[in-house]
Structure 1
Amino acid sequence: MADPADGRQRIPAQSPFEEEIGFTRALRVGDRIVVSGTVGVETDGSVKEDAGAQADRCFALIREHIEQLGGRMADVVRIRMFATDIKDADAISAAFSRALKHARPTGTLVAIAGLYDPRWKVEIEAEAVIGSGQ
């Protein structure tokens, strides 16, 4: 829904951190959608141990956010993936392929020291341009 103050469309807040810290999970400005770092937390709050399963969940959430804002996964032009262990790169890359191989967006995967919750093994950001996908 569009914010009357700035005209941006945002999905509804999904965690208390969004209001407390002041960020938006996913935002549409014109034909561009930007999705904040997304982790693989399940609906019930659990987190699967496998990094590939976490990445699959990240991409499912990213899809939901993009579709809520009027886009499609085919519109994704950039993905950034942050892994806490580079040994999980193949599993995370496989999830990327399952979700986006058809769209062939740019992609970055880097290893980082850690994430907010030690159970989280991957965090993924996305950018889409509505109407750019085939």
Structure 2
Amino acid sequence: MREIVGSGSPLEPQIGFSRAVRAGNFVAVAGTAPIGEDGTTVGPGDVYAQTVRCLDIAEKALREAGASLEDVVRTRVMLTDVTRWKEAARAHGERFAAIRPVTTFVEVSRFIEPDWLVEMEIDAVTGQEPS
């Protein structure tokens, strides 16, 4: 069984991607950028605020796919300036200190939007098959 979770972004059909995909017990959340409800970048210049926004979006996608933060087994945090990793780590730790998934912080040269300082990917494994 394969379930697609969309975010409503007009780019999803254009690019051919989904916010999240659930296949059996596995849920993958796509690279998630700090985009606000109004389509603008949340927290320009603020890695912590942008990371919180990425986590909010990813957590919503997990819920829609029948998973939760407690099911997360891997996170990937991509930053345009890895020297600012502690700002992203603070937001990550606020959600995952007790869950402790494996995680990777990497530096990338840039994102689609120049104001984005961080993007995240999340993988989860749920305890049950979807109904």
Q: Normalising by the residue count of structure 2, what TM-score does the alignment of the two structures yield? A: 0.91
- How many residues are paired up? 126
Residue 102 of structure 1, CA deviation? 1.4
1:3 aligns to what?
Answer: none
Find 2:77's aligned residue among 76, 81, 99.
81
Check the 8 A contact 2:6/2:12 in 1, yes or no. no
CA distance in 2, matches of 1:79, 1:53: 17
In structure 1, runs of 5+ residues without a counterpart are 1-6
In structure 2, relative to structure 1, the CA distance for the partners of 1:72 and 1:13 (3 Å cut) is closer
1:123 aligns with 2:119: yes
In structure 2, runs of 5+ residues without a counterpart are none
Residue 87 of structure 1, CA deviation? 2.4
- Superposition misfits of 4+ residues, deviation over 3 angstroms: none
Find 1:98's aligned residue among 94, 100, 120.
94
How big is the alpha-carbon RMSD for the aligned residues of Structure 1 and Structure 2? 1.3
2:105 aligns to what?
Answer: 109
Aligned residues with identical type, % of pairs: 33
Structure 1 stretch 79-88 or stretch 26-35: which is displaced more? 79-88
What do residues 34-84 of structure 1 show as CA deviations (whole Å, max 9, x unaligned)? 000001111112221201100001011111000111111000000011000
1:53 aligns with 2:49: yes
CA distance in 2, matches of 1:27, 1:101: 25
